[in-house]
A and B are shown apart, each in its own frame.
Chain A
């Protein structure tokens, strides 16, 4: 939309620049102590839920396998703490419906050292063996989608990957967990990238980092220098600072920023010979794979105006949200789930209640104050004035204004057929910029859900 944007070298067309609000960019990662009880849902990932392999009353050690992967797309889960399995029952989940979970009563004073491991020699492992090791670690995409990593690194028959793209954009406002991981665990990241290169057969890896994180770029450059000094085993690794813009964390946008090409509609990046992975995922792989440990904790940004001790915390999986909120300094007795968002403010998930645990896909906990909420709700909604802001913001080049008018008339089929509703990946840019305060992306979600249900019939 902006006249000057034509002359600037922008990462990709359109998109938005929300205030970054990275309150915790300079605070080192801290460990969160164990909560008295941890709740490990069996489904923390995309795919089939895992199957429990422990019984109620059984003692488990931190790192021990407690649920094995089902056949097909699924990953195992490991005990995040040493303790006793108290129950295997339905518990509230972030998505709304209650879901089966393993509840572990943590032994007082137990250590956060991993006690269970299954070390294996990966030096000469084939790519299939590597992927099996990755699956056994229970790794999923830590950027938010929680798609099993072993499946993401699998190359479909007939395709060939030449580049592993590592997504360190973290374009969501407030979130800094990937940033801190890149700064503090750059060597783990390089180790993880080397496993990724071997698993995919790619010859080079490119780490894309937004240019508002110079510290991360510097740390990775230093780690790459050490990698080069070692003779670049497994392939060449580069880091590239890309101009900051939301939603660059979307893989199609990042590939546009790095390569200047569009991934064809309906295709995956592998059609261009590329595999995309998140920095947090690969750094965790680099730490876990050599010792054969399972994923029992992850870095979570706990931030927002509603907490007095914001920061990036290494959180044992299954830690209840209320425990985290207390620890990070949310007002005592806070009970309003509307104030808490899992993930970033642009694509994060609002919660039905505060009785839910941290799972593998949670990258942030964003806490607002009551007055922020009131401010958000006291807005007047106008009819669309066709200002075109949304058309100028949609990174996918759709016409949200037109889609919104069709959605208001419930003409969902017309949205999908004439106006490419299926291309929308719900980044929320249209709703963010709309001066009439029309909930555009929310309407699109409803429309997509209705269309999904219709096609399932």
Chain B
């Protein structure tokens, strides 16, 4: 406020009104849309999954709080962005993942994925994937050990590996499953089974994740529904998931039609592993994805193609994470070649949309005596034919 001695002149410049949308609102709605996914994840895997969600999200928030207090990063704890990172990271880990490793993943995600770049708005990579990439490298066995879903007693008993002491390696889950006579179920994810054993899961089972004791993440169908909510309210851009899923399906379909013996069908490709959650929630992280509409499509196609290539031709069963990280890294290059064309700068000054009037000076109006009605995009009349 101005003092009486030196009155300050404050001039604001237009616009003087503001759309109600804010960063907090966007982030909060993403969290809301993740809640059903979390609930289903807990329903599948019981208290181990619940504990993992809480520990990982807590680790993210604690780390964010620490770096905010040191003043080295932008944003506020209340902007919900660290909460999203925590939830997404937890959903991408196996439900029996040791909790202390989950804590490490959360701390690394925020510290190395976000805080060192300067906080919200500055991260180059999706922080959740940075955390996951770190634990994938640090704890390769633990992250590949999935427990089957819908185990009896999952709401009263932790998976023993969850409760491994900090800095200790977890107990072998197969022993625990053997004690409970569930060995037949023990095993890898559907993608690992296909890659290493040649067993192909049913796409519909994968889509709902409801049947049997499958070692999968949250149901793709549920994630698609939550993503549709976000896209409809424009909290994510539909171009990114559409182009990721579209390009991955197209490439998988081409390969499948060339050699159906060797390559799985495109639906398996689409619904197994983390492709859906990656396309809907991970790749659409606003900060690490392009802003230009053309760039979003390029970025999505790059991720979709890379995912299929890594899955089919590398030693790894899953490729979504690396595909998205590569997509994030190439985002500045993609933006550079995908800047929008400004109004009036197009090479061809063609008619952009149907209109009631034309520029032809000899043509005055479709019917000279009456102002014409607008023609729709799909039933365009030949303007000027009757003039």
Contact = CB atoms under 8 A, between A and B. Distances in A.
Nearest to A253: B343
Contact of B344 (A10, A252, A341, A402): A252
A228 B369 contact: yes
Interface string B79-92: 10000000000000
B5 interface: no
Contact of B371 (A240, A264, A397): A240
Contact of A386 (B234, B289, B339): B289
* Interface bracket on A: 35 or more
A388 B121 contact: no
A455 interface: no
Contacts of A262: 343-344, 346, 349, 352
B332 to A, nearest CB: 10
A286 B381 CA distance: 36
Interface in B338-383: 339-346, 349-359, 361, 364-365, 368-369, 371-372, 374, 376-377
A432 B292 contact: no
B74 interface: yes
A391 B365 CA distance: 35
A395 B25 contact: no
A174 B291 CA distance: 31
A384 B14 contact: no
Contact of B342 (A9, A267, A398, A441): A398
Given A349-B14, A376-B16, A396-B342, A435 B357 contact: no
B328 to A, nearest CB: 12
Contact of B14 (A12, A221, A346): A346
B237 interface: yes
A57 to B, nearest CB: 34
A18 B17 contact: yes
A162 B365 CA distance: 12
* Interface bracket on B: 35 or more
A246 B223 CA distance: 35
A358 interface: no
A116 interface: no
Contact of A384 (B121, B231, B340): B121
Contacts of A52: none
A408 to B, nearest CB: 11
Contacts of A16: 19
A388 B344 contact: no
A162 B340 contact: no
Contacts of A402: 291, 335, 339
Interface in A126-173: 160, 162-163, 173
Contacts of A257: 355
A48 to B, nearest CB: 26
A223 B57 CA distance: 67
Contact of A238 (B16, B340, B371): B371
A259 B357 contact: yes
Given A265-B343, A399-B291, A387 B22 contact: no
A3 B13 CA distance: 32
B319 interface: no
Contact of B18 (A204, A379, A383): A379
Contact of A397 (B341, B351, B354): B341
A47 interface: no
A7 B353 CA distance: 12
Interface string A420-457: 10010010100111011100011001000000000000
Nearest to B371: A238
Contact of A399 (B14, B292, B369): B292
Q: Which of A423, A433, A435, A445 has the most CB of B within 10 A?
A: A435
Given A382-B74, A396-B342, A428 B18 contact: no
B211 to A, nearest CB: 32
Interface in B223-248: 231, 234, 237-238
For the complex of A and B, list the 10 residue pairs with the smallest distance between their C-beta atoms, beginning with the closest: A383-B121, A428-B15, A162-B361, A260-B355, A265-B344, A388-B291, A238-B371, A345-B17, A260-B353, A350-B12
Interface of B: 9-19, 21-23, 25-26, 74-76, 79, 118-122, 231, 234, 237-238, 286-287, 289-293, 296, 335, 339-346, 349-359, 361, 364-365, 368-369, 371-372, 374, 376-377
Given A2-B234, A399-B339, A441-B15, 20 more contacts: A9-B374, A10-B353, A18-B17, A163-B357, A204-B365, A256-B353, A261-B352, A264-B344, A273-B359, A379-B22, A382-B75, A383-B75, A388-B292, A388-B293, A389-B21, A391-B291, A397-B342, A397-B345, A420-B342, A437-B18
25 contacts: A1-B237, A163-B361, A203-B361, A238-B365, A238-B371, A240-B371, A240-B374, A258-B355, A258-B357, A260-B353, A347-B14, A348-B16, A350-B11, A352-B11, A383-B119, A385-B26, A386-B287, A386-B290, A392-B293, A402-B291, A423-B343, A433-B19, A436-B121, A441-B14, A441-B15
